[in-house]
Amino acid sequence: MTASPSEPTAAPASPGPHPHPRPRPRADRARQVAEVLRRQIASGAFPSGVLPDERSLIADHGASRNTVREALGVLRDEGVVERRQGVGTVIRRRTYEHTLERLTGLAETLSAYGRVSNEVRVADVLRPPREVARKLCVPDDGQVVYIERLRRLGDDPLSLDLTYLTTDIGRPLLDADLAGRDLFSLIEESVGGPLGSASVTVHAVNADPGTSALLGTPPGQAVFTVERLTRMPDGRPVDLEFLRVRGDRLAFRAELGRGTGVPDSPTGDNR
Amino acid sequence: MTASPSEPTAAPASPGPHPHPRPRPRADRARQVAEVLRRQIASGAFPSGVLPDERSLIADHGASRNTVREALGVLRDEGVVERRQGVGTVIRRRTYEHTLERLTGLAETLSAYGRVSNEVRVADVLRPPREVARKLCVPDDGQVVYIERLRRLGDDPLSLDLTYLTTDIGRPLLDADLAGRDLFSLIEESVGGPLGSASVTVHAVNADPGTSALLGTPPGQAVFTVERLTRMPDGRPVDLEFLRVRGDRLAFRAELGRGTGVPDSPTGDNR
């Protein structure tokens, strides 16, 4: 049996119940190449900012010239790369990876890549929506601190963060450097100790026009919406955040174990 | 000081360096309401499938009628809800949450909601792309098993999964029930023990036309692209997957600790 390239077109090399006599559409093969390239770009595999030339890509992926071209077209349409005359295919934008395995702030994660600054749009004390009150264990007629920030790496918007804090935790922050710092580290300085755990849920949605305008993306850009409920070490919820994060600038990364996870969220409603 | 509703419009209730004398645009306030509602819908807070009426939403969110209407408009544009004459605002689609804190398969996670079935598009032995060979520690001229499956919950496409397996792990799977089962459980049955850990990276991108057609979404739909490298308990990588997951059907959930994460990926290139 000859080692076939990565373009399966005929019957399986091993006898089995899944014969595939029809040739695979080029779009399918191009997608295979594009997935691998996107990950290589995101992980910093091409430090020069230029992709290998077509001949190398053909060899690396065991793919035809047309398949490689179509794969590059997919990444071009996504705004990841562009053709530059006399240079080749260059990376337009790095996507930075934000860890999900520890509770870290954005500035903390991205410090190697540049300065994160925050435009403070709201910093106020207000009565929370009922659902927010419930999650923060605040009485329905109680108050919370609400902070809304547009976060940038250098000049580029990264995320729009809506944060509700219990007043004991939030009030001291109203006088803090909200424009320059992560809330996590501000809170930890303020309480004099580390935060506990957090429950995080990540959705992918198409940005509404208002969010697109704020984040400086085309309308409908894929963005993450993240809900993060952070607790003190004793389990008391203190910080509920709703983040909208540009999908073309940030990705999330986690290390998982099989069967070694922590139990479901104690509130029982984050399923 | 009167407890204001969740629409901060004037100076902060607490003296601080962040006065906000200008009224907030309604789009901002609507976004606040929409974020909370989206999360409630995703977590199953409205089991009847109908949202509370406008009056209740106004009270729950401390928002004006116009703000609530605009928030519902955002969710309608995202395809999450629709107005139904004589009924109210109904949920069009549940987004199911897939845990990121343990290594679980899709069918395993979604068993409570319906049957996951897989259309096996490819199941073959082939020579992998160079980058895939590197990650699976296979020689450049070696082979891998490639499995491509379109996964559905009931009749609805959920994800397109491209999987590269080392041949020792993958070959026995070519004769297994790839149409009905999660790969994780098939592998564990085949090797007679549990898998080890995995490194996962999650991006949000707008689906290319080919992916949209396969997943049954409008062009440009926000989808997750997930790379997952799974290892045996001894650390040997055996399974590299590239998943495209409909953002309107699945979300990811994780529990994080502050400073309790596992160290960076041993391959060192998944940052």
Residue B24 sits at the chain A interface (C-beta within 8 Å): yes
| Distance (Å, whole) CA B34 – CA B111 | 29
Q: What is the pLDDT of residue B99?
A: 78
A208-263 pLDDT, tens digit each: 888 999 999 998 999 999 999 999 999 999 999 999 999 988 898 888 776 544 33
Nearest CB to B5 within list A74, A127, A262? A127
Residues in chain A with CB shorter than 8 Å from the CB of B99 are 261
Amino acid sitting at position A138: V
Mean pLDDT value across residues A57-74: 95
| Cα–Cα distance, B132 to B135 (Å, whole number) | 5
Rounded to 5 degrees, φ, ψ at A209 are: -55, -40
A9-18, A72-81, B31-40, B179-188: which range is least confident on average? A9-18
- Kindly compute the dihedral angle of the four CA atoms of residues A247, A98, A229, B72, in this order, to the nearest 10 degrees: 0
User: Contact at 8 Å (CB) between B133 and B139?
Assistant: yes
Cα–Cα dist A158/A170, whole Å: 23
Identify from B99, B242, B255 which residue to disrupt to test chain A contact, counting A C-beta atoms within 10 A and taking the largest count: B255
The domains found in chain B, sorted by start residue, are 26-91 (1.10.10.10), 96-253 (3.40.1410.10)
All residues at 6 or more sequence positions from A85 whose CB lies less than 8 Å from its CB, including other chains: none
**Closest to B221 in 3D by CA, of B136, B154, B158:** B158
For residue B116, give every residue at least 6 positions away whose Cβ sits within 8 Å of its Cβ, in sequence order, or none: B106, B107, B110, B151, B152, B153, B158, B182
A78–B contact, CB cutoff 8 A: yes
Residue B103's pLDDT is 65
Mean pLDDT (whole number) for A58-79:
93
Q: What are phi and psi of B69, to 5 degrees?
A: -65, -40
DSSP strand pairing (A156-166 vs A144-153): antiparallel
User: Which chain A residues in 34-63 lie under 8 Å from chain B, judged by CB atoms?
Assistant: 34-36, 38-40, 42-45, 59-63
pLDDT at B9: 44
Residue A158 · residue A151 · CB < 8 Å: yes
Strands B250-257 and B96-99 come out as parallel
Measured in whole angstroms, how far is the alpha carbon of residue B236 from the centre of its chain? 27
Q: Is B93 left (phi over 0), alpha (psi -120 to 50) or beta?
A: beta
**Contact status of B248 with chain A (Cβ, < 8 Å):** yes
Q: Which of A20, A7, A154 is nearest to A66 (CA)?
A: A7
Decide if A238 contacts A165 (C-beta within 8 A): yes
Instruction: Using a CB–CB cutoff of 8 Å, tell me whether A32 touches chain B.
Output: yes
Per the model's pLDDT, the better-predicted residue between A71 and A78 turns out to be A71
Can you give the pLDDT at residue A258? 60
The fraction of chain A above a pLDDT of 70, given in percent, is 85
Which residues in chain A have Cβ-Cβ distances shorter than 8 Å to B129?
A: 6, 32-33, 36, 60-63
* Radius of gyration, CA atoms only, chain B: 23
pLDDT score recorded for residue A58: 96
State whether residue B236 sits within 8 Å of chain A by CB: no
Residues sharing a CB contact under 8 Å with residue B221, sequence separation 6 or more, in sequence order: A206, B206, B207, B212, B215, B246, B247, B248
Separation between Cα atoms, residue B214 and residue B150, nearest integer Å = 8
| A14 band by pLDDT with thresholds 50, 70 and 90 | very low
Say if residues A165 and A190 touch (Cβ distance below 8 Å).
no
Dihedral angle sign, alpha carbons of residues A186, B36, B20, A223: positive
Of B5, B148, B222, the CB nearest to A206: B222
A113 has a pLDDT exceeding 70: yes
Residues of chain B with pLDDT under 70: 1-22, 101-103, 258-271
